[in-house]
């Protein structure tokens, strides 16, 4: 692991370090994550498609990798940048080292990088295109490759990460047995005695397994559908609720998906997170924009304007909804980021439709925002009762 690697940014800034993981070259948007743990979940979060991830925490890799904590079918990050990579793996759950895992999945890593300087540069100049290479030692060449990489603006990455076919998630009973074995945090089922599980159709824009486990554990029978599923096909599944997932890329590049979601707003309760929040903002008639360097990490402070409380939340996004573009006679702005004032949550004033920009399931991360799942369950329960009332009146 003594081979040299280069990280070059499109503005000409370069960093040299040690190569690890797969030998090769990758381009992508350079971003940073402030989490102190959870690198395996970060690498396998489909929202990182098209990005090279920098970890701000100094030592990465010390607890290895296991087969239980993945968030999707494979890692989606293009590259991995760390200050210090631990060659020693020590954890009873580990099945392999992080170095072996990156090699297995073709992800190029670089260590011995001054990540503090790199993050300060990104915060000052903004997220930008980059190239990480362990096969090209020429800085000018690697910088040129960074400049030629695709930009995130206008880029549709959802089609690259979404599932190919619809599938049903595992049973509620099994998820209540296996949920979060490390912390023991198992949410109590929201089902009342004798109540049938709530049928949820979850759009896969890059959905994380932890979200599906959480929905199942609180009382939902979840069917996951591809991102391009039509509104008619969703309604044919007779859902009690519709979930709009996280995902990568520019939401403005998804007008057809936004159009289908718009058709569903009056059909059943809707809950959106992350990219799902942005898609919902577009369906409400609003606009989205690219943040300078985004929010990524498990420690973002968000104020809930309904109760005045601050929540510490888990984030991974580079785009946001412009609150000034929304009709506030129809849309209530419910949550704002306390660092930069970014809109973090909204709710329709008359329909059971709401969303947040962050990840309330937070695996790993804080559990401050798990009450949002309770709100989704309450909306679905009320929707069921409303449908029963309509049927009884018709009878």
Rg, Å, the chain Cα set: 21
Q: Are residues 140 and 203 in the same domain?
A: no
Q: Are residues 205 and 142 in the same domain?
A: no
Q: Are residues 283 and 348 in the same domain?
A: yes
Residue 356 and residue 344 in contact, taking contact as beta carbons nearer than 8 Å = yes
Q: Give the domain range for residue 380.
A: 158-392
Q: Are residues 57 and 100 in the same domain?
A: yes
Sheet with 198-204, side-by-side order of all strands: 167-168, 220-226, 198-204, 241-244, 270-273, 353-356, 343-348, 331-337, 288-304, 310-321
**pLDDT digit string, tens, across residues 131-160:** 999 999 899 999 999 999 999 999 999 999
Q: How far apart are CA 3 and CA 24, in angstroms?
A: 12
* Closest C-alpha among 37, 74, 75, 28 to residue 58: 37
Q: Which of 121, 295, 335, 359 is catalytic?
A: 359
Asked which of 147, 177, 205 is the last residue of a domain, the reply is 147
Q: Are residues 324 and 357 in the same domain?
A: yes
* Closest C-alpha among 190, 275, 206, 285 to residue 241: 190
Q: Are residues 169 and 139 in the same domain?
A: no
Q: Are residues 242 and 268 in the same domain?
A: yes
* Residue 153 counted as domain residue: no
Q: Are residues 114 and 202 in the same domain?
A: no
Q: Are residues 137 and 163 in the same domain?
A: no
Asked which of 126, 147, 168 is the last residue of a domain, the reply is 147
Residue 363 has pLDDT above 80, yes or no: no
Identify the CATH number of the domain in which residue 222 sits. 3.40.50.880
Q: Which of 131, 220, 274, 342 is catalytic?
A: 274
- Is 25 marked active-site? no
Q: Are residues 210 and 271 in the same domain?
A: yes
Predicted confidence at residue 179, as pLDDT, reads: 54
Q: Are residues 237 and 142 in the same domain?
A: no
* Residue 181 counted as domain residue: yes
Provide the domain count of the chain: 2
Count of beta carbons in the 10 Å neighbourhood of residue 320: 22
* Residue 139 counted as domain residue: yes
* Closest C-alpha among 265, 257, 262, 259 to residue 229: 257
Residue 33 and residue 139 in contact, taking contact as beta carbons nearer than 8 Å = no
Q: Which of 10, 25, 78, 361 is catalytic?
A: 361
Name the pTM for this structure.
Answer: 0.94
Residue 10 and residue 129 in contact, taking contact as beta carbons nearer than 8 Å = yes
- Is 315 marked active-site? no
**pLDDT digit string, tens, across residues 271-298:** 999 999 999 999 999 999 999 999 999 9
Q: Are residues 324 and 254 in the same domain?
A: yes
- Is 359 marked active-site? yes
In this prediction, what percent of the chain has a pLDDT beyond 70? 94
Pairing, β 288-304 against β 331-337: antiparallel
Distances (CA, A) of 207 to 8, 82, 228: 30, 26, 14
């Amino acid at each position: 692991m003594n081979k040299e690697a280069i990280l070059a940014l499109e503005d000409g800034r370069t960093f040299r370090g040690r190569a690890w993981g797969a030998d090769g070259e990758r381009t992508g948007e350079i971003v940073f994550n402030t989490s102190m743990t959870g690198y395996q979940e970060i690498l396998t979060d489909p929202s990182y498609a098209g990005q090279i991830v920098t970890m701000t925490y100094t030592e990465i890799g010390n607890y290895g990798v296991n087969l239980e904590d993945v968030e999707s079918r494979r890692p989606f990050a293009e590259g991995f940048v760390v200050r210090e990579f631990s060659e020693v793996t020590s954890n009873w759950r580990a099945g392999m080292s992080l170095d072996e895992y990156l090699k297995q999945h073709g992800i190029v890593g670089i260590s011995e990088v001054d990540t503090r300087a790199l993050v300060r540069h990104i915060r000052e100049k903004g997220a930008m295109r980059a190239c990480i290479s362990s096969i090209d030692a020429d800085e000018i060449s690697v910088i040129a490759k960074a400049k030629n990489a695709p930009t995130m603006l206008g880029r549709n990455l959802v089609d690259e990460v979404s599932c190919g076919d619809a599938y049903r998630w595992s049973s509620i009973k099994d998820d209540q047995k296996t949920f979060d074995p490390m912390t023991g945090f198992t949410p109590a089922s929201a089902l009342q005695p004798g109540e049938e599980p709530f049928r949820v159709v979850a759009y896969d824009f890059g959905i994380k397994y932890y979200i599906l486990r959480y929905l199942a554990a609180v009382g939902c029978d979840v069917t996951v559908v591809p991102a391009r599923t039509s509104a008619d096909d969703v309604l044919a599944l007779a859902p009690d609720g519709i979930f709009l997932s996280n995902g990568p890329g520019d939401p403005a590049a998804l007008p057809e998906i936004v159009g289908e979601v718009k058709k569903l707003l009056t059909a059943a309760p809707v809950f959106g997170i992350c990219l799902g929040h942005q898609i919902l903002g577009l369906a409400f008639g609003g606009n989205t924009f690219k943040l300078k360097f985004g929010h990524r990490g498990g420690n973002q402070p968000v104020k809930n304007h309904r109760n005045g409380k601050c929540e510490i939340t888990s984030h991974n996004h580079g785009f946001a909804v412009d609150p000034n573009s929304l009709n506030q006679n129809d849309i209530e702005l419910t949550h704002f980021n306390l660092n930069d004032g970014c809109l973090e949550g909204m709710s329709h004033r008359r329909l059971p439709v709401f969303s947040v920009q962050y990840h309330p399931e937070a695996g790993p991360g804080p559990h401050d925002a798990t009450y949002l799942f309770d709100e989704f369950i309450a909306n679905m329960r009320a929707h069921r009762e409303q449908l029963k009332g309509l049927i009884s009146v018709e009878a």
